[in-house]
Amino acid sequence: MQSKKKRKWPMIALILAMVLGTVLYGLADRYLIPHVQVAVVDESLSSGTNAAAADVVAAAAEANAASDDWNYSSDDIDIAIEKKVIGSGSDQTIYYAADVVLRDAADLKSALAGNSFGTNITDTTSNIASSAGAILAINGDYYGFRDDGVIIRGGTLYRDEPARDGMALMSDGTMRTYDETTTSASELLASGALNTLSFGPVLVRDGEIAGDFGSVSIDKNFGNRSIQDANPRTAIGMISANHYVLVVVDGRSEESRGMTLTELANAMKDLGATEAYNLDGGGSSTLYFMGRVVNNPQGENKERGVSDILYVGEGE
C-alpha cells in the first residue's frame, strides 16, 4: 500500500510541472514572444522613412545638441515646445507641450517598431522615430500590448476588434473621437481616417472636459497598472484643423509627481485643445525632438520599448 502511494507522487509532480509549463508558456506567448502579423513592405505605416529626411533631422539635432531651442520651422511645419513646471516640492509636476502647425495633414504620421504590425514587437520611441526620419515624436497607444481595438495606420485597417473609445486622425487635418463599438472601421475609412489609436479615455470633447475619470478601465491585461492616480502621461489634442498640441508629462520621480487624468484633461483644455485624447503613459511616456529625448522617461532617463509612435515628418 505504501509503495503505491510513493509511486503516485512522481506522477503528480510530473502533471503539476506540465500544467505550470503550459501556463508559463501561455504567458510568455501572450506578453513576451514577438508575433509579426504584417511586415510592412512599403511606407504606409512609416511614410517618413527616407535617408534624406533622417539626414536633415540629424544635422539639425547636432546643431542644437547643447541648447534648449525646441523650435522647428519650414514651409510645411511649425513646431514650438515649451517646458512647464507647476506646483512645488512633492507636488511639483513637469510637462512638455509641443505646439504643432501643419500645412498637410499627412505630415502627422504613425510608425511601428520593427516596421511590422503584431504583438510583443517593441523598440524605443527614439529608435523608431530616428528610423522614420521624425522631427518630433511621442509614444503611441502600445497597440501590441493588447489584442483588441480598431487599428488603422496609414489608411489601412490592421485590426478590427472594437473595445473602447478610439481616436482618429483624419485626412482633413481634424481629430475625431468615437466609440469603437458603435462606429464601424469601414465608416472611419470612408470618412478619411488616416490613423486610429485605441487607448483613451477621451479628455476633451467639443471644448469641454469629457467627463468623470474616476473609474476608467482601458484593459485588464496581466500586470496592467491602474491609470487613476498621478502618473507620467502622453496625450494629443487638436486646437483647430492641422493645429495640434502634443503633451508628455514626467512622473514617478522626486522632481515630478505626474498627473491624474483630470489634471491632464484640464491642462489640455488650458492649452486650447478643443479635442484631446489620452495615450499610453507610465514608463512609455516619451517626447523625442530633433534627434534626442526631451523629457525624463520613467523618472530615470530610461526609455521603455513600445509598439508604435506618432510623429511629425516632412513629405513622403
- Neighbouring residues of 211: CB distance < 8 A, sequence distance ≥ 6: 201, 202
Cell numbers for 101: 502647425
Residue-range definition of the domain harbouring residue 254? 35-312
In a shared domain, residues 137 and 201: yes
Same domain membership, residue 26 and residue 39: no
Residue 178 burial (10 A CB sphere; 0-12, 13-18, 19+): middle
Verify that 89 and 5 share a domain, yes or no.
Answer: no
Q: Are residues 110 and 2 in the same domain?
A: no
Whether the CB-CB separation of 259 and 230 falls below 8 Å is answered with yes
Question: In whole angstroms, what is the distance from residue 13 CA to residue 283 CA?
Answer: 39
Contacts of residue 166, Cβ cutoff 8 Å, sequence gap at least 6: 149, 150, 177, 178, 179, 180, 183, 196, 197, 198, 200
pLDDT at 315: 74
Cell of 242: 492641422
Say whether both 205 and 189 belong to one domain.
Answer: yes
* 28 plus 62 within the same structural domain: no
DSSP 284: G
Cis peptide before 162 (omega within 30 of 0): no
The answer to whether residues 200 and 64 belong to one domain is: yes
Q: Which long-range contacts (CB under 8 A, 24 or more apart) does 212-218 make?
A: 213/260, 213/261, 213/262, 213/265, 216/261, 218/164
DSSP state, residue 271: T
Please check whether residues 68 and 160 belong to one and the same domain. Answer: yes
pLDDT by position in tens, the chain (length 316): 555 555 566 666 666 766 665 555 554 455 556 565 565 544 445 544 444 445 545 544 444 444 468 999 999 999 999 999 999 999 999 999 999 999 999 999 999 999 999 988 999 999 999 999 999 999 999 999 999 999 999 999 999 999 999 999 999 999 999 999 999 999 999 999 999 999 999 999 999 999 888 766 665 544 445 566 899 999 999 999 999 999 999 999 999 999 999 999 999 999 999 999 999 999 999 999 999 999 999 999 999 999 999 999 997 6
**What pLDDT is attached to residue 212?**
81
Q: Are residues 5 and 84 in the same domain?
A: no
Q: Are 55 and 175 members of one domain?
A: yes
Strands ordered across the beta sheet of 108-112: 108-112, 308-312, 136-139, 287-289, 292-293
Residues 1 and 77 in one domain: no
CA dihedral 137, 142, 148, 151 (to 10 degrees): 20
pTM: 0.83
Residues 19 and 84 occupy one common structural domain:
no
Number of domains present in the structure of the chain: 2
Q: Which residues contact 23 (CB under 8 A, 6 or more apart)?
A: none
Strand partners, 117: 38
187: left (phi over 0), alpha (psi -120 to 50) or beta: alpha
**CA 88 vs CA 1, 2, 85, 295, 300: distances in Å:** 73, 71, 8, 18, 20
CA distance 183 to 186: 9
